A and B are shown apart, each in its own frame.
Chain A
Amino acid sequence: MSTESLLEIRDLSVTLPTDSSALRAVRGVSLDLRRGETLGIVGESGSGKSMTALALMNLLPPAARRQAAAIRFGDDDLTAMGEKALAGRVRGRRIGMIFQEPMTSLNPVYTIGRQLIETITIHGGTSVAAARRRAIELLEKVGLPDPASRLKQYPHEMSGGQRQRVMIAMALMNEPELLIADEPTTALDVTIQAQILHLLSELQRELGMAMILITHDLGVVSRAADRIAVMYAGDIVETGTTEAVLSAPRHPYTQGLLECVPGYREASARRLGSIPGIVPSMTGEIRGCAFAARCPRAVPRCHQEAPPRRPVAAGQGDAAARGFVCHDPEETRGLGFAGGDTGAGPAIRRGGDSVLRVDDASCTFSVRRGLFGKRKPLRALDRVSLDIRKGEVLALVGESGCGKTTLTRTIMGLQTPDAGTVTLAGRPLGEQPARQRARLIQPIFQDPYSSLNPRQTIGDIIRRPLVINRLGDAREQRARVHRMMEYVGLPSRVFNSFPDQLSGGQRQRAAIARALILDPEIVICDEPTSALDVSVQAQILNLLLDLRDELDLTYLFVTHDLSVVRHLADRVAVMYLGEIVECGPGEQVLNRPKHPYTRALLDSALSIEPALGVPAPDLAGDFPNPMNRPSGCPFHPRCPLADQRCRQQVPATETLDGTLVKCWKADTPPSGPLDFCPDHNNKEDAAP
C-alpha cells in the first residue's frame, strides 16, 4: 500500500433545509485516504455517512448545501471545481461509485452494453469499439459468463446479484483512483454478499484503487476495510485501523455499537448490549457532545462543551490515523452497555410438547407469463415437515425465494397447502375458525413502517385484536393495552400517537404488543429486526427473549442473519428451494453443519473478525429460479460434492446426531475447506 495521500477532506458540512429549520446532516467531517487503501465508514441510519460520500462529488440532492474548508483529491481541490469540471473530469472517471439498490440503480430502458459503454464515451477520447471491448473485459472480470451477449440485455433480465456486478463493472470502466461503495451488499442475500465483497477486494488489489466502503454492518467492514471511521450524528467520532478500533474501541458509541452485535462478545451471552435513547435531532446547534444524552459515562462537562479530538498513542505510526472525539471522562473502557443481567447464563433449552406440526405440506402456484402465456408450476413448498415445540425459538433460515414466506403463511392459515396438513394445538388448522387460529398464532412483520395502519393510533392498533374477539369492555381493554405497552417498553404517552410519530424501534415494539395482546401460543417473527439499526435491533432482540421467558411464548423466527440465529435459536431449520434441507438443535446445525448448503451459508456470514478477510466466494451461482427446479437434489448445480446420484435422485431425509438432513453426502465430512467455486467462468447461472 502506498502512503501517498489521495483524498483529504477538511471540515465538511452538509445542510438540508427543512420546513422550520436546517438539518445539519454532516457536521465538520475531516478524513484522509491514501492510495490503494480501504476506508470503512460505519454508522447507523441518519449518521451522515452516505451524505459525506455524495458531498465529495457534489451529488447531493438539489436543496442540500455543502461547505468545506478543503476537499483535496490528488492535485485537485474539488471545492473549487464547478459542476461541469466535476462531471467531466472527476465523476465516473477518477472516482467511481456503487450504490445500495442494484434493482433501481440501472436505467431500465437502455441495455447494459449502452450503459457501460457510455461511461467511457461520455468523457471523450475513446472509440465506441474500444469502450465495448473494455466492457466485455470487465463483465468477464466481475464474473458474468458470456459477457458479449450480456451487453444486449436489459437490467430487468438480470438478478440483483448480477446487476450489482454490472454496477461494479460500470464503476471500474475508467479505472478510477477511488471507488466509493455505498452499502454495496445490503440489499443482497448473504451468499451473494460474500461473492460481491470478495470480488471488490480482489479487483481493488489488482487495480490498486483506493476504496471508501460505507456500511452499517460491522461484520462487513471488519473483513473488508483497512481503516475505519465511525460516524455518529453527522460527525466522525472515532478513527483508526480496523484491528485497533474493533478490538480496542475508545469512543463510548463505538463500544456500545459493538456490544449490540450478536456474537461480538461471547455467543452464550444472554442479553445484548444496547444503547439507550435515540439519535438527537440534528436540526440546529448541538451543545456539547452529540452522544452525551445516551452515554453511560457522560459527566456534566459532556453536555456543555464540545468534546476534543484526541489522538491515541502517538508513536504507533501516524497519529492522525487513530483518534476519537470524546471528553473521555473515565479511562476505563467497556462498561455501561452490557445490558445488566448477564448472569442468567445460557438460555434454558426447552423442548416441550409439540404445539404446531407441519406434515408433508406442499404448495404449488401456477404462474402465467403474459395474457396468453403458458401456465407453469412453481413449487414453493415441497413436502415440508416441521414441528414447533412449546417454549422454543425455532429459526427458519434461507435465501430469498426459498419458500420461507410461503411456509409461514401456511402455518398462519393464510395459505392452504395442496397436500399435507398443519396441526395446531392438536387439531388440524383447516378445521379451526379463523378467529381462533388468530388467537393462537400471531405474526410480527419485517417492516414496522408499513405493517401498522398509519391512520390509527398506537392504542387502537394494539387494542384491535381485543375488539375483534370481543374480549372485555372498553375499560378493561384499555387497561390491558396499557399493561402490554409497559411490557414492551412503550411509554404510555404514545397511546394516542400515530405510527409516523414513533421511531422505528418504537413501532416494532407496538407491532410486538399488538401480536402479544391475545396471549398467543406461537409468535411468527418474520425478519423482525432486519429493517432496524444495529442498536435498535439489540433492544428488540433482548425484548423478544425477555417476553418469551415472562409470557411463556414460542417463536418461529424467520431471518437471513445467522448471527441473530446463533444468538437466540434453540433449533434451526434451513430451507432451500421449498425444502427443509437441514433441521436440528442450534449448536449442532451452526457448529457442525451437515448439509453443504448450511455450510456455505455459515461461511458467507461475516462475523466481526478484523484478522480475517472476506472469504472466497462461497457458493457457485445465484439462487436458481424456482420455476426451473434442478432434477435430483435441488442443490446439486451449486454443490461442490455433487456426483451422479445427486443429479438424478432426490435425497431422502435421514437423522444424523439428532439433526435431520436431506443430502446424499451428509455423512462424508469434507477434508479441508470446501471449494465452492471450481470454475471461475461458471460463477453465475450454474443452474441450467
Chain B
Amino acid sequence: MLNYVMRRALLALLVALTVSFGTFALFYFATDPAQTIAGEDAPQEMVEAIRVQYGFDRPITVQYVDWLGGVLQGDFGQSYFWKQPVVALIREHAKVTLLLAFSALAVTILIALPLGISAALRPNSWVDRFALSTAVSAQAIPNFWLGLMLIILFAVTFPIFPVSGDSSWRHYVLPALVLGASSVPAVMRLTRTGLLDVMGSDYIRTARAKGFTGYRLIVRQALRNALLPIVSVLAVQLGNKLGGSIVTESVFSMNGLGRLAVESIFNSDIPTVQSLILLFVLTFVLLTLAADLINAWLDPRIRMG
C-alpha cells in the first residue's frame, strides 16, 4: 500500500509541475504583462522600463523558476488590479467557494446515491423510471435557469431564503441546491449502472447462496464494489464545483473564486488569473489522487497490483 501511495503521489507531482509550466508558458507567449501594467497608451520607453523593473525581460525558464519558488513559499505575486497580494485575494474568496462546493457535494450525494441505489434494486419499477426521468430533466435544465426559478419561488414568492449574497448559512441553501443538482444525473446514473452490474455478478449470487439477503446483502457484499466508480466520479464533480461555480456564484452574487476569476480576466490581471488556474489544476490533481487512494483502500486488487 505504501508503495502504491508513493507511486501515485509522485505521478501527481509530475502532473502538477507539467501543468504549472504549461500555464506559465501560455501567459508568457500570449500576453505582454509590461504593456498591461503600463496601460494601452503608455509610451514604449515606459513599457520597457516596467519590463526591466518587473524582470519580464529574463528568459522564460528563469522567470518560471522564480515564480515557482515564490509559489512554493506561498507567494503568488501581486495583483495588478486589486494592488494586493494574490494569496490574500484567494484566501478571502476561497471560503465562499469551499463552503458552496462542499454543501453542493452533500446535496449531490444525498439525492443521487439513494435514488441510484433504489433504482438499481428495482430495475424498471416506478422508482427506476422516476430516477431516470429526474436525471434527464436535471441534465436538460440549465444551471442559471434553475437558479432563477428557485429565487423566484423561494426568495421572492415565498421569502424563505435571501435572494443573494454570502453572509449567512441561509444564503448558501439555494446556490448549493442549484450547483448540487447539476451533478445529480451523472452520479445517479453511475450509481445505478454500477450497482446493477454488481448485483448481477457471480459473487453476489454466491453470497445469496450463502444466505445473504436484503439489507445485509447490499451493505456487506455489494456496496464496497459499487462504490469504486462512484468515488472517482465524485472527485471529478467536486473539482468542477470548486473550479467552475462561476455561473452559480454570478446568479446568487456570491463573492467566490469563480467571480474572482471572471473579474481578473476582464481586468487582465495576469498574476491572479495564473494563480487561479494553477489552483484549480492542483485541486483536480489532488482530488484525483485522493480518489485513487480511497479506491486502493477499498479494493485490494488496486492496492496490490
Interface residues, chain A, with chain B CB atoms under 8 Å away = 57, 59, 62, 83-84, 87-88, 91-93, 96-97, 99, 101, 104-111, 118-119, 122-123, 154, 156-157, 167, 170, 370-372
Contacts and interface: CB of A to CB of B under 8 A. Distances in A.
Contacts of B214: 83-84, 87
B203 interface: yes
Contacts of B205: 59, 99, 105
A109 B216 contact: no
Interface stretch (B132-140, B157-165, B240-248, B295-303): B295-303
B209 A91 contact: yes
A263 to B, nearest CB: 33
Contacts of B59: none
Nearest to B6: A372
A412 to B, nearest CB: 32
Interface stretch (B219-227, B253-261, B285-293): B219-227
Contacts of B28: none
A83 B202 contact: no
A91 B225 contact: no
Contact of A104 (B201, B301, B305): B201
Contacts of B209: 57, 59, 91-92, 96-97, 99
Given A154-B304, A156-B301, A106 B213 contact: no
B301 A108 contact: yes
Interface in B264-305: 298-301, 304-305
Contacts of B212: 87, 122
B208 interface: yes
A91 B208 contact: yes
Nearest to A116: B210
B44 interface: no
Nearest to B298: A109
A107 B300 contact: no
Nearest to B201: A104
Interface string B1-41: 00000010001000000000000000000000000000000
Contact of B203 (A96, A105, A154): A105
Given A59-B208, A87-B213, A370 B305 contact: yes
Given A99-B206, A157-B304, A372-B7, A108 B211 contact: no
Contact of A107 (B123, B207, B213, B298): B207
A118 B220 contact: yes
A106 B207 CA distance: 9
Contacts of B298: 109
Given A118-B210, A157-B304, A108 B7 contact: no
A450 to B, nearest CB: 20
Contact of B202 (A88, A91, A104, A110): A104
B1 to A, nearest CB: 13
Going nearest first, the 10 A-B pairs with the smallest beta carbon separation are A92-B210, A87-B213, A92-B211, A104-B202, A97-B209, A154-B300, A107-B203, A105-B202, A91-B211, A109-B224
14 contacts: A59-B205, A59-B209, A87-B212, A87-B213, A92-B209, A97-B206, A97-B209, A107-B206, A109-B224, A109-B299, A109-B301, A122-B211, A370-B7, A372-B7
A527 B216 CA distance: 42
Given A88-B211, A93-B211, A122-B212, A105 B206 contact: yes
Given A122-B211, A154-B304, A108 B220 contact: no
A156 B300 contact: yes
A108 B300 contact: yes
A566 to B, nearest CB: 33
A84 B213 contact: yes
A91 B304 contact: no
A99 B207 CA distance: 11
A123 B211 contact: yes
Contacts of B301: 108-109, 154, 156
Interface residues of B, number: 27
Given A107-B221, A122-B216, A99 B211 contact: no
In this complex, which of A83, A109, A372 has the most chain B Cβ atoms within 10 angstroms of its Cβ?
Answer: A109
B303 to A, nearest CB: 9
Given A109-B225, A109-B299, A372-B7, A122 B203 contact: no
SS of B interface (majority): helix
Contacts of A110: 224
A482 B298 CA distance: 56
A109 B300 contact: yes
B203 A104 contact: yes
Contacts of A154: 300-301, 304
Contacts of A99: 202, 205-206, 209
Contact of A119 (B123, B210, B216): B210
B141 to A, nearest CB: 33
A370 to B, nearest CB: 7
B7 A87 contact: no
A83 B213 contact: yes
Contacts of A93: 211
B212 to A, nearest CB: 6
Contacts of B221: 107
B7 A371 contact: yes
A633 to B, nearest CB: 32
Contacts of B201: 104
Nearest to B220: A118
In this complex, which of B201, B205, B214, B220 has the most chain A Cβ atoms within 10 angstroms of its Cβ?
Answer: B205
Nearest to A114: B220
Contacts of A105: 202-203, 205-206
A156 B216 CA distance: 24
Given A104-B201, A123-B211, A154-B301, 6 more contacts: A59-B208, A92-B209, A105-B202, A108-B225, A108-B299, A108-B301
A517 B62 CA distance: 67
B63 to A, nearest CB: 32
A170 B210 CA distance: 8
B38 to A, nearest CB: 48
Nearest to A180: B209
A107 B205 CA distance: 10
Interface in B187-242: 201-203, 205-214, 216, 220-221, 224-225
A145 B214 CA distance: 35
A306 B50 CA distance: 101
A108 B225 CA distance: 8
A99 B203 CA distance: 10
Nearest to A104: B202
A83 B225 CA distance: 24
Given A83-B213, A92-B209, A101 B300 contact: no
In this complex, which of B206, B212, B221 has the most chain A Cβ atoms within 10 angstroms of its Cβ?
Answer: B206
Nearest to B221: A107
B84 to A, nearest CB: 43
A8 to B, nearest CB: 21
Interface in B120-142: 123
B229 to A, nearest CB: 13
Contacts of A92: 209-211
Interface in B84-110: none
Contacts of B305: 370
A274 B10 CA distance: 62
Contacts of A372: 7
A93 to B, nearest CB: 6
